Structure 1
Amino acid sequence: MLKINRENLKSSHQLIWFIIDFLMLGLLILNLAFIIWDSIYNFVAIQNLLKEYAPTIQSMYHPIHERFIFYDLVFVSIFLTEFFVRWGYAIKARVYDRWYFYPFIHWYDLVGCIPVGSLRFLRILRVISIIYRLHQYKIIDVTSTRIYQFLNFYYEAFMEELSDRIVLKVLSGVQEEVKRGSRLFENIQQDILYPRRDMLSDWISARVAEAAREGYVPNRGALRSYLESRVDNALKQNLELSRLKYLPMVGPTIQETLEEAVGDIVANVIHQILDDLASASNHAFIEDIVNVFLPTPEEGQPDEARNEALITLIIEIIDAVKGQVKVKHWRSELP
């Protein structure tokens, strides 16, 4: 059931316009019901059926049916009056950049007022616009209604089915292109990645340096202690080194000195590597790695085995994506 948020309605600075919206909404619903009923009554079979089973209703409504245009024009006059009042307010408040923008933006209000059969039903657009405006200002909450939830569920289901079919079609087309030996990936490497090789090197170098500074520098002491303990543990498990302690007099001293020296060397080497990565000196190292993965077009020689492996990998990745796309999430929401 649609509930009205009275607090937002009272606190709003457009209270009078919202009241007019509710009045117009009621008139529009009444007018549309009148139009639908008159369209049904227009069938001779319906008139004969009413004459036979409800002659009183038929005799009362038939004069109204004959003057339907007059009664509809009464509604139209109210709608047009409200339209011109809002247009005048929009001009005064400078809602739009030009005074004549309002009728173009709210064209459905004018077209729906034309007293022609098919155009009358465009008044439903005005009902939707009023409901949307009230929902936008949180006067009502359309999403809490069962009608909205019902329609939204099947809309989302339809859109998911449609988008899934489109995505699957596109991915299948990509697979066919890859199987036919498309030069897409070579073009990506040569025309997109290679010209930006220096930029990629700079970016990766900066990211590696930042990661090393943030992850290593604050934990330098803890990392050194961990490395020394792991090296010490490994050396104690070494059979040849453990035999040194059996040397008379100097055996235990030599063993302990070797353990400390090896642990210190390993820790210093690791620290030096991480210090280099955390500084600008890592750029040459990163640039060499990028050059290996992105050789110049002259250096890069075609490798059929590598190409076949890459094609197979790409096709398998696309198959995995297609398998995920085929999952129907809307079915899990069915009651």
Structure 2
Amino acid sequence: MFTINRENLRRSHQLFWFIVDFLMLGLLFLNILWIIFDSLYAVDVVRDMLFQYAQPFAEFYRPIHRNFIFYDLVFVWIFLTEFVIRWVYAIHSKLYGRWYFYPFLHWYDLLGCIPIGSYRFLRVLRVISIVYRLHKYQVIDFTQTRVYQFLRFYYEAFMEELSDRIVIKVLSGAQAEMTHGSPLIHRIQNEILLPRRDLLTQWLSEKVAETAQTGYIPNRGALRHYLENCVDHALTQNVELSRLRQVPMLGPQITETLEAAVGDIVAEVIHRILDDLASARNHAFIEDIVGTFLQETEAPGEGPSESERQIIQVVNEIIEALKKQLAIKRWRQEL
């Protein structure tokens, strides 16, 4: 059974309404059980069994069954009174934007008060709403009950099966589109990306400049030191410089001067490139790159080329791996 947090119940500012909720729960359970019993009593087989094995009770209940609607109206009157009181309270405390929102949001309460046929079983929704409200305010906790865990397990199993089948269907459709050739990629490039090439160039230029400023400028000294070490190491391993270093008197001086000059040149070139990327001067460079990748193309007529077929094959294998992963059912492992 669910547990009741008495501490939260005492500290709550809605203690009165929670007490009303518990009373209404009791009346709803009693009323629903009575409705179920009366429905069973209306069945000839059940009524005959009652007259056979419990005739005094069956005789006693016969007039009650005939006037069941009258007795049910007592419950309906209580439920409607509680509904009206809550509606007035909602208007007074301005719980909703308009005074007439409450009956629309609690339509099941009104329909459940209709004492005719299947409408009465809508009172089960009222039970669910009250239990959910008490659970929401941490007055009761029904997550540890076996019924809740049973329903939650099979609900999650159903949703996993349903979502996996939908995703697999979508992935299979994407594979079929790529295999048979689809103009979607060319339409995206020609109708969506190309008209916005200037916007993409501006955005990419700003992002490159921002990245270069935040990543390069604060580490300019460390980068120069790293480049000089790399150049020194590369020149040390060079065979020609090793031979030049063996020249008497001038060899060591020439190699040191050459190493320093090459290191400065490389570092200066790298710094100049990164300085340009970190400034507004990178716009023309980025525009050339974007223009190279975004060019108007025609949709393939006779089928994809060999390189495109290889790419499609790779994408298909990736999708197949995803489909195999989706085929693994976690709920079965938990079961």
Task: Judge same fold: TM > 0.5, yes or no.
Answer: yes
Partner of residue 88, structure 1: 88
Aligned-partner residue type, residue 244 of structure 1: L
Partner of residue 119, structure 2: 119
Distance in 1, matches of 2:202 and 2:232, equals 38
> 3-state DSSP class of the match of 1:122?
helix
**Cα 1:38/1:301, change in 2 over 3 Å:** closer
C-alpha contact 2:2 2:143 (8 A) present in aligned 1: no
Partner of residue 252, structure 1: 252
Please tell me whether residue 103 in structure 1 is matched to residue 103 in structure 2.
Answer: yes
What is the Cα-based RMSD across aligned positions, in Å? 2.5
Aligned-partner residue type, residue 2 of structure 1: F
Map 1:221-240 to 2 at 5 A: 221-240=221-240
The structural deviation recorded for 1:209 is 1.4
Partner of residue 18, structure 1: 18
Partner of residue 73, structure 1: 73
Aligned-partner residue type, residue 75 of structure 1: F
The structural deviation recorded for 1:178 is 2.5
C-alpha contact 2:4 2:139 (8 A) present in aligned 1: yes
Distance in 2, matches of 1:252 and 1:69, equals 114
Distance in 1, matches of 2:196 and 2:314, equals 25
Map 1:1-335 to 2 at 5 A: 1-55=1-55, 57-297=57-297, 304-332=305-333, 334-335=334-335
The structural deviation recorded for 1:4 is 2.2
**Cα 1:10/1:61, change in 2 over 3 Å:** same
1:208-260 deviation per Cα after TM superposition (whole angstroms, max 9, x unaligned): 11111111111111122222112211211122211122111111222222222
Distance in 2, matches of 1:180 and 1:117, equals 56
The structural deviation recorded for 1:148 is 2.1
Distance in 2, matches of 1:222 and 1:144, equals 58
Structure 1 unmatched runs, 5+: none
Distance in 2, matches of 1:43 and 1:198, equals 77
The structural deviation recorded for 1:30 is 1.3
Distance in 2, matches of 1:310 and 1:223, equals 37
Aligned-partner residue type, residue 31 of structure 2: N
Q: How many residues align?
A: 333
The structural deviation recorded for 1:193 is 0.7
Aligned-partner residue type, residue 81 of structure 2: T
The structural deviation recorded for 1:289 is 0.9
Distance in 1, matches of 2:129 and 2:241, equals 86
Distance in 1, matches of 2:54 and 2:243, equals 116
Distance in 2, matches of 1:301 and 1:280, equals 41
The structural deviation recorded for 1:24 is 0.5
Distance in 2, matches of 1:182 and 1:100, equals 53
The structural deviation recorded for 1:183 is 0.9
Give the % identical residues. Answer: 63
1:146-205 deviation per Cα after TM superposition (whole angstroms, max 9, x unaligned): 322221221121112112212222222222222222211100000001111111111111
1:90-116 deviation per Cα after TM superposition (whole angstroms, max 9, x unaligned): 233333344333222222111111112
TM normalised by structure 1 equals 0.89
The structural deviation recorded for 1:60 is 4.9
Aligned-partner residue type, residue 99 of structure 1: W
Aligned-partner residue type, residue 134 of structure 2: L
Structure 2 unmatched runs, 5+: none
Distance in 2, matches of 1:189 and 1:295, equals 8
